[in-house]
Structure 1
Amino acid sequence: MSSAQRFRSVHGTRIAYRQGGPDDGPLILLIHGVASQSATWEPALGFLAGHGLHVLAPDLPGHGASEPGHGDYSLGGFATLLRDLLLTLGLGQATLVGHSMGGGIALQVAHQFPELSQRLILVASGGLGTDAHPLLRAASAPGAEFLLPLVMNSRVMWVMQRARRVLESRGATPGLLSDGALRNYSALSTPAGRRVFLATVRSVINHSGQRVTAVGRLHLTSHLPTLLISCEDDPAIPRAHAEAAHAELPGSRLEILPGRSHRPHQHDPERFAAVLADFVATTAPAADLPTWRAGYGPARFEV
């Protein structure tokens, strides 16, 4: 599929997104994490479309090519924006796929808008435990806005790009200087990008780790067919988070991909797409809103 970006105004905010695959295929909403963008899914997009899936991958407000919006970078704010983007594009129910913090956003969409949520796929997901990377905990601390420009600016980006070229000239793998990593770093090299990053991080993380989680509340989305995907060795979010959520969600599926990566969809995009497509093909979408309200909703909130 083409990875060309498109744009749509949602409540006056210009939102960038990528869309492809057959129009009549099951709709897959891909939600990226903090300091990331829709391009993170690019290695897997063609494989997903090849499985007959209709893929929508937006840049969240203030990320990638999307405008900053109105300053609400909470899980609820992002969830509402995604609901409104779906409606603006004339799309309906979707399988929600969230990576890292995007997993927390997917959980929030499922909670706020059950009528739009068919399935839940959490990829190296945040919101399933309290552990957080030390750098993210540091970014939540007072004064980080003064330190961040010293370590992430246009000069540092130039050095990183030069180092990448040197590594490539010697036949080495860029690793932390890959295309995706440099895209994420570049988001922090501008004042606007740093403001969005800090506001987003601080909405869910503090000095001790993730302060907004679904731990103990996963039963609220237990009516949704759920797949958890992680890598065997995730340097950012322990796979134990996915394993614990799997144990808390009877009927859920757990897929652990071999290797060390926080981005399974980039680490092995072909297998990632195959696992996702098989899950969609072998599970029935969740009930519509009236059925959910009658048979699922109220009882879940009383637990």
Structure 2
Amino acid sequence: MSYFTLEHDGANPPAVFLHGFCQSSVYWKPTAGRLAAAGIRCVAPDLPGFGASADESGPYTMTGLANSLARLLDARGIARITLVGGSMGGVVAQHFVLRYPERVGRLLLVATGATTADPAAALAKADAMEAAPWDEAAITPVVNGFFLHPPSDAELARFRSIALGATPVAAIEAARSNAVNDTLGQLSGIRVPTLIVQGRHDRARTPEHGELMRERIPGAALAIIEDAGHTPQIEQADAFHEVALPFLLAARP
């Protein structure tokens, strides 16, 4: 699995960042940079089938992607982490902490949910994506949907290029797995400090998704980022980091 790291000399548990559907580790570089400057080692993989890991084989299910993260950590000799997951990466993070609870010390879930509001509609979108050519026309509405306030044309072009770098089979399988995901009934088993962050105007994962998770994860906190959509860490970086960084830095001894 391809990944980037921002190293430091301390002994703190590293922070691991998981990106969303048709995204890559690039979406987390600004946050990782701020954490690394504060002495936290950061590891941000491109999940199999996405970004620079597009040549890897599946499975590309939420559980399969969680297991691939465990293999990456094993290969790097990392036993315990602070885990950050955004969008689809937040679903993978839920599967990881439920499957490997001893490996997670803190959990940050961003713009994600434990269920899909309309699984049938989400599956129909995956079917339509499979039937269409994997090209810019197919991924443009996906990328546009990440933002309440679109970034510059150059940035949008960059994000479209990242999306197109995904392997179509990975995108379709991951979309289908995410569509039918239902971890809501298992969230009470998450027993680590958890912060949930949602964009106020996120159309894919509304604040209600965050509230449902907050109700079920013992002791979890929920923060809503105003004037943000599905990528609050990019759209409202200062407001997001004002909430997220103290929580993540609390992992330091």
TM-score, with length taken from structure 1? 0.71
Query: Deviation digits for residues 182-223 of structure 1, max 9, x if unmatched?
Result: 344335547x72222112111221xxxxx21211221121x1
Query: Deviation digits for residues 254-302 of structure 1, max 9, x if unmatched?
Result: 11111132111112334433422311344799xxxxxxxxxxxxxxxxx
In the alignment of these two chains, the number of paired residues is 245
State percent identity of aligned pairs.
Answer: 30
Indicate yes or no: 2:207 matched with 1:220.
no
Structure 2 match to 1:240: 208
Question: What's the CA shift for 1:46?
Answer: 1.9
Q: Equivalent residues in 2 for 1:198-277 (5 A)?
A: 198-205=172-179, 211-221=180-190, 223-277=191-245
Work out whether residues 188 and 197 of structure 1, in 8 Å CA contact, stay in contact via their aligned partners in 2.
no
Report the AA paired with residue 215 of structure 1. L
Work out whether residues 225 and 283 of structure 1, in 8 Å CA contact, stay in contact via their aligned partners in 2.
no
Query: Deviation digits for residues 34-72 of structure 1, max 9, x if unmatched?
Result: 111000112322222223221110001111111432220
Structure 2 match to 1:61: 48
Q: Equivalent residues in 2 for 1:1-303 (5 A)?
A: 15-24=1-10, 25-126=12-113, 128-131=114-117, 136-141=122-127, 144-149=129-134, 152=137, 175=151, 177=153, 179=155, 181-187=156-162, 189=164, 193-205=167-179, 211-221=180-190, 223-282=191-250
CA distance in 1, matches of 2:222, 2:35: 19
**Residues 135 and 185 (structure 1 numbering): CA distance in 2 closer, same or farther, change over 3 Å?**
farther
Question: What's the CA shift for 1:117?
Answer: 1.1
Work out whether residues 152 and 185 of structure 1, in 8 Å CA contact, stay in contact via their aligned partners in 2.
no
TM-score, with length taken from structure 2? 0.84
**Structure 2: which 5+ runs fail to align?**
144-148
Work out whether residues 44 and 266 of structure 1, in 8 Å CA contact, stay in contact via their aligned partners in 2.
no
User: Which structure is higher in RCO with an 8 Å CA cutoff and minimum separation 6?
Assistant: 2
CA distance in 1, matches of 2:203, 2:105: 30
CA distance in 1, matches of 2:163, 2:14: 31
